[in-house]
Amino acid sequence: MRELRRIRTGPFREDTSIRMHEFSEAIYLYRELGREDAVKSVILPHEYIVAQLPKVAILDGAIAAVAHGADLAVPGVSVVSEGIRRGDLVALFSLKGELVALAEALMSTEEILAKDRGIAFKTRRVVIPRDVYPRSWRKRAGGSPH
């Protein structure tokens, strides 16, 4: 073997990706001339990475809890993609379209729509900073929020 090239991974394709010298030039323009636009033109938002995953919009009141690692219960779900099955990896988004976390589905779409309580998603990776949305729970006397 002389060469091994990855031409696609997830939503990224070789023919639409930037080259290292383009990235390096953008960093140079930012550092030397303060040109943020150069960097913004070559870096994609992290929401792009999860474009192929099923999506779940969650209520603002649930975001802080999920940002602190809590699992998402049915009452915190606003909109859920069709066709989610138990065990699927899903992307949890705010109602504004901000990526909040990646989670594992503990219920199917049908189960979530039919129930009014229960844990629907197990939080696997939090993306949003903890302090973006205010807490909507009270701490117990022992200091634990749960």
Q: What is the pLDDT of residue 146?
A: 54
CA angle 99, 60, 125 (to 5 degrees): 35
| Coil/strand/helix, residue 4 | coil
CATH code at 48-126: 2.30.130.10
Instruction: Tell me how far apart the alpha carbons of residues 64 and 131 are, in angstroms, rounded to a whole number.
Output: 7
Q: What is the pLDDT of residues 37-75, one digit of tens each?
A: 888 888 877 777 888 899 999 999 999 999 999 999 999
pLDDT in tens, 107-133: 999 999 999 999 999 999 999 998 888
**Pairing mode of beta strands 89-93, 55-58:** parallel
pTM over 0.85: no
- Structural domain boundaries of the chain? 8-43, 48-126
